[in-house]
Structure 1
Amino acid sequence: MSTLIPRRDPFFAEFDALVRRAFGPSPVRFPRPESGFTPAADVTRDGDDALVSLEVPGLDPATDVHVDVEEGRLVVHGERRDERSEENDGRRFREVRYGSFRRSFALPQHVTADAVSATYEAGVLKVRVAGAYAEPQKPGVTSIPVQVPAAELPAQGSEKGSEQE
């Protein structure tokens, strides 16, 4: 977390006082969210797959972004920390933006974590949910073939065949 150091310049002190008088503290009835930011999301259909695109520019996808499947929900969460500093005419300007985010999307009951994959390119996280729009397989009867080792198979010239001759 950064600490602001008050400027000694009278203009900034006067400007700060003007802003405080005009806007005052934020009203209690409109609390600010603690989460930091909420990335824009777009959910589209690609055949039977769902494609969730989230705008998260400037993040390191290996450390800052996590994609999970929790209790039938696709959960994308992470943290952004962006620091910029600039020096001009002997003055230094430093800006730090940070905050965590969490987006959650309901998944169809038939979708498992194995159907989810994610890629990150040019600031956009794309999460593909394979088969999200596919019809779930209905329970029914499926015949399973019985495997028999070769040693257990009857020989071609079996005793039954020689008895009939």
Structure 2
Amino acid sequence: MAIAVRRTSWDPFTALLRQVDGDFDAIVRRAFTGAVPARTGFVPAADVARDGADVVVTLELPGVAAEDVTVEVADHRLRVTGQRREEQATDKDGVLIREIRTGSFRREFALPEHVTAEAIEAEQADGILRIRVREVAAPKPQARKIEVRSSAPRAVEADTPAQGE
């Protein structure tokens, strides 16, 4: 009976590429979405879509209870924080595999200066958090007529000597 032995070796170049790839992904995510990924836990997926003058931010939060989510506005940023709690589980055979990430999360989105907390509504159902930011499009200033004043012609004084001087 022959036993097959599989050899695996550690390749430092591949490990470095994986690290750089993860760092690059985080930089791109921050640059294009303005989102700040969580340092621990998980980063919920988000969609940002325009709906007329409003913007709707949708986050996937399966397994996160509404009471474990906070939506707030601070420093012209929409901040969503929360926590997915770990469920206690035991296995009779002593083997447990967990692939569902738990822990805290934080996502931030830039807001225009004129948007206040009063313009924001949030609701969560079936693992989806929807945040509507009303009137994100800045109001266009209305045309204003500027009065044109007429000025009387001014007499030009000459510095030329009078006749006979």
> TM-score band, normalised by the shorter chain?
0.5 to 0.7
Alignment of 1:79-98 (within 5 A): 79-83=83-87, 85=89, 87=91, 90-94=92-96, 95=98, 97-98=101-102
* Count of paired positions: 117
Q: Deviations over 1:1-41 (max 9, x none)?
A: xxxxxxxxxxxxxxxxx99x7599x87x9399732211100
Alignment of 1:115-130 (within 5 A): 115-130=119-134
Q: 1:99 maps to which residue?
A: 103
State which of 45, 50, 57 in structure 1 corresponds to 2:50: 45
| Percentage of identical aligned residues | 42
Does residue 69 in structure 1 map to residue 73 in structure 2? yes
Pair 109,78 (structure 1): closer, same or farther in 2 beyond 3 Å: same
Q: 1:59 maps to which residue?
A: 64
Segments of structure 1 that go 5 or more residues without pairing to the other structure are: 1-17, 142-165
Give, in whole Å, the separation in 2 of the partners of 1:107 and 1:139. Answer: 23
TM-score with structure 1 setting the length: 0.58
TM-score with structure 2 setting the length: 0.58
* Structure showing the higher strand proportion among its residues: 1
Pair 59,123 (structure 1): closer, same or farther in 2 beyond 3 Å: same
Conserved? CA contact 2:121–2:132, under 8 Å: yes
- Over aligned residue pairs, what C-alpha RMSD do you find? 3.2
Secondary structure of 1:138's counterpart equals coil
